[in-house]
Amino acid sequence: MKEIYMDNAATTKIDQKVIKAMLPYFDQKYGNASSTHTKGREAKNAMESARKVIAKSIGAAAEEIIFTSGGTESNNFAIKSIAFNNKEKGNHIITTKIEHDCVLNSCKWLQTQGFDVTYLDVDKEGFVRPEVLEKAITPKTILVTIIHGNNEIGTIQDLKALGEICKKHEIYLHTDACQSYTKTEINVKKQPVNLITLNAHKIHGPKGVGALYIRKGTNIKAWQHGGGHERNLRSGTENLPGIVGFAEAAKIANDKKHVKYMAGLRDKLIEGIEKNIPECKLNGPRGEKRLCNNINFVFSRIEGEAIGGYLDLKGVSSSTGSACSSHTLEPSHVLQAIGLSKAEANGSLRLSISRYTTEEEIGYVLEILPGIVKKLRLISPL
């Protein structure tokens, strides 16, 4: 049976070059980067070289990059630390209804700690309108946190426009860029963003490592305490093999030809589905405003979980939404936020590709998916 992986928004397979770069740091160059002996200095040098790579990839300075255990930690750190360290200015935070669960749950927790949170509506394609953001700002607003590339529907927000509004009102802007990193432009010299969450395992790097960009001058303090690692901002012995792998993955992924290749396959899959399957609807925007690897459809009168199950039997890995909330039976909050009913949201299917996806694999999915949908509709009680 074929094995076709189209759940790359959940995680990606590690590039063999990344594995090769990591291996020496497990059994040869295994020193602690905080140690002062030769092996410690060797580890420190490797970590700082990796930091420079990540910084350069977004136009930042190396000292503005803090390594973390991944996107969830970076998002929690950014949102909670900014909130508590800027309470003298205000207690109001703005986010959106289409954020990743770790952002939404962090904001909900902050509400139990005396903070007010506004959850912005988005339009039918998932975009935050700049005028809607500006209208929500109050004298007590201290932080805006908006996802850059949406993990479910692929919408890419205009960080420059949103950032200019925040800058004008002297409010910090944080963005979760785990899905968009290396897939669309992120440049802190052009986009006035104060904090950016990044991670490795969405770009063919290892799981369990990420980073937080913190613009110089941002009023933030440690959220995790200990031995004072990462310039006293994130204590804990650094995951050196992971960090080295993260940097190697970033170097490879920053090749723009990968983005062009994935966008071509994305559009071929979208066009094929729309041509061959009636009563389906693309969720999110088209073209350059959509992540190059994201395809998300609603198929009327059937369950997305059922489609995914049949695809799995045919060797195709897919998803009905975010992998982090796949254990729940609740319809996608993202799809409901763009105006879909619960029944429509339950009929969604996400296919997310990578630079390893082939035209042959796209063709195979287009060959089997129409039959699966037709079969499920024939037995559907809806």
The count of other CB atoms within 10 Å of the CB of residue 248 is 24
The string over 57-95, giving b where at least 16 C-beta atoms fall within 10 Å of a residue's C-beta and e elsewhere, is bbebeeebbbbbbbbbbbbbbbbbbbbebbeebbbbbbb
- 324 a catalytic residue: yes
Q: Where are the alpha helices (DSSP H) in the chain?
A: 16-22, 24-27, 38-57, 71-85, 101-112, 130-136, 159-168, 229-232, 240-253, 256-276, 304-313, 333-337, 342-345, 359-379
Dist CA 194 CA 82 (whole Å)? 11
Dist CA 233 CA 215 (whole Å)? 13
Contact present, 171 and 142 (Cβ < 8 Å): yes
Instruction: Supply angle C-alpha 178, 180, 183, rounded to 5.
Output: 130
Structure token pair of residue 350: 């996400």
8-state DSSP, 167 = H
8-state DSSP, 293 = T
Q: In what order do the strands lie in the sheet with 348-352?
A: 280-282, 294-299, 348-352
Catalytic annotation, pick one of 178, 280, 292, 324: 324
8-state DSSP, 332 = P
For 78, 127, 235, 295, 335, the CA distances from 123, given in Å and listed in that order, are 26, 5, 40, 18, 11
Is the Cα torsion angle 22, 28, 30, 34 positive or negative in sign?
negative
Instruction: Give the residue numbers marked as catalytic.
Output: 324
